Amino acid sequence: MTSSQPLSQKPYIRTRENPYFDGLLVKDGALTDDSSNHDFGRISDVQKILKSTSEISGSGRKNIDLDTSEKSMESPLDDSVPSLMRPVLEKSYKVMRKRTSLPNIPLPQSAASFYNGHSPRMEIVESCENINRLNLFLKSKRDEVDAGVPGRFLHAVIGQDVSDVGSVASAIMYAYYLNETLGNDQFCTVPVINTKRAELNSHAELKWLLDSCEIDQSSLIFIDEIDLSYYDLFGSLKLVLLNGSKLPSKQEALKESVIEIFNCKKGESVYPSVEKVTVGQECSSCTLIAEMFAMTSPEILAAQGFSRLLLAGILLDTGNLSSSDSTTKDKYMATLLLNGAGRFGCNGLYQILRYKLYDVSDLRVAEILGKDFKKWTRVVKLENGGSRMVSHVGMSSIGISVEQLLAHGDASTREIKLFRKMEKLGLLMIVSGYYDEEKNFKREILVSTESVEVMKKLLLFNSNASQLPLKALHQPGLGEEMSAFEIDKVTPRKTIERFLEEFGGTSTSVPSRPKQHHQHE
């Protein structure tokens, strides 16, 4: 170099001057000087902004709306190259504290985590116009239902009596799709979540997803908040049934109101009143709905919150696209919805949902047992050979050890017995599947029966069938009507289900999570 000044002492001079870059600066504000431009966006500065806002309002979590609108810039090039003039584009962002921390979740590496860190306390979220429209739709329909839907048909989109992510997401999104495309003023199209609102508290993965997508949960309609039989009685009910050709047994009386079935298996018989049937081709219902949006208005899927809701359903329905149920169409639509994964990536989003799925730290024992529950009817012949009595056998699957379940509260054993009595079960089998500290998979079983005789019959049946390699697991304070066992070999849940079907009789209810895949199924 010809200059005598050392390179390390040579001052840096920014020479790139272009009117377009003026839009990156905030006029008439503190950000027009160089020091502010260098420092803006750091976590420390955002915290200062948050602190000042907190001192003014005194509330908890704070949202900060930043004026970062992008607009077309006036430039000397505008007259000479009019075809390159940028259209008016306005986007708004907000910086906010994380709603929930995710420090214990082993998130996989992603490009976003390289720049932003694994668990930043702040995140910048783009306001989603499509989510705002969806929330307006949900609120307006909730208001109409509260008013009784006068002079119109109640066009309810409802799934099976489950509360997994795929079922809830598909009910919400398909109802929204029908509302946007049908154009029938005689229909009040609403999604109905086929579970009680109180049960939402036991599904941390669903609550986290709805929060992260900014869905207004107060506008959702749960099955205990609407009387469908009332509308059916007066002939004003039109049902759209998701994920199956038959209504749950407790809602079978509404079958004459079913006019559409969405995502059923090929060849399944349907009700005579059904006018339209969509065969699912074994893929996730969220995949089919995303495909329909992609065909009609693909731009709506570009929004992160909108696409995350559908993507989460696909990932859980297909075991992160790795299960035997996963189809080519599932994988294609998951790729199209990739923006919904955000900084976590698809693998990271799936890991968060799975972690939340098994997170029971804030749940009561009854809520843990009810998360994944199945029931069978058992017909028992009396000793005198005269009449018969009906008993019920149930199975709850949990993701923690039996010891952790029993230590969940001082009255854990009493709550287990109470849950069995509330479900009118003669036998409740709690199936535990978890990984120990050495990352080895463990399978344990806790059995609660209504009498000592039922316990003896179960053990005798198992010894004759030689299906479950049970090994007694010492747990103090269980009593004679409750026993814990360890299974030496890794026994799939399906094997245990078949065992209970043979012992208990005919299945009378569907699993609470029909397609969400678990390891060692």
Q: State the pLDDT at residue 427.
A: 92
Distance between CA 396 and CA 432 in Å, rounded?
8
Q: State the pLDDT at residue 390.
A: 65
Q: What percent of the chain has pLDDT over 90?
A: 37
Question: φ and ψ at 367, to 5 degrees?
Answer: -70, -35
Q: State the pLDDT at residue 362.
A: 76
Q: Which residue has the higher pLDDT, 139 or 44?
A: 139
> At CB < 8 A and 24+ separation, what contacts does 486-489 make?
486/442, 486/443, 486/444, 486/445, 487/443, 487/444, 487/445
Q: Out of 167-176, 311-320, 360-369, 478-487, which region has the weakest mean confidence (pLDDT)? A: 360-369
User: For 209, what's the count of Cα atoms within 13 Å in the CB-facing half-sphere?
Assistant: 32
Residue whose tokens read 């506008």: 219
**pLDDT single digits (tens) 6-59:** 444 455 454 444 444 444 444 444 444 444 343 433 434 434 434 443 443 444
**pLDDT single digits (tens) 50-107:** 444 344 344 444 443 434 344 434 444 344 434 333 333 345 555 555 555 565 666 6
Average pLDDT over residues 431-445: 85
**pLDDT single digits (tens) 143-178:** 999 999 989 999 999 998 877 899 999 999 999 999
Distances (CA, A) of 324 to 6, 262, 282, 311, 357: 65, 22, 10, 18, 21
- Taking residue 201's Cβ as centre, other Cβ atoms within 10 Å add up to 13
292: helix, strand or coil: helix
Q: State the pLDDT at residue 363.
A: 83
Query: Strand locations in 79-121, DSSP E?
Result: 93-97
DSSP string, 235-260: T-EEEEEESSSS--GGGGGGGGGEEE
**pLDDT single digits (tens) 338-388:** 999 988 889 999 999 988 887 787 788 988 888 888 887 766 565 665 555
pLDDT beyond 70 at 317: yes
Taken in order 449, 382, 504, 162, is the CA torsion positive or negative?
negative
**pLDDT single digits (tens) 189-220:** 999 999 999 888 888 899 999 999 999 999 99
Average pLDDT, the chain: 76
Q: State the pLDDT at residue 468.
A: 83
Q: State the pLDDT at residue 314.
A: 96
Residue whose tokens read 């584009």: 89
**pLDDT single digits (tens) 388-436:** 556 688 999 888 899 989 987 668 999 999 999 998 899 999 999 888 8
Quick one: tokens of 365? 């024992």
pLDDT beyond 60 at 235: yes
Q: State the pLDDT at residue 383.
A: 60
Residues contacting residue 377 through CB under 8 Å, at least 6 positions apart: 390, 391, 392, 393, 504, 505, 506, 507, 508
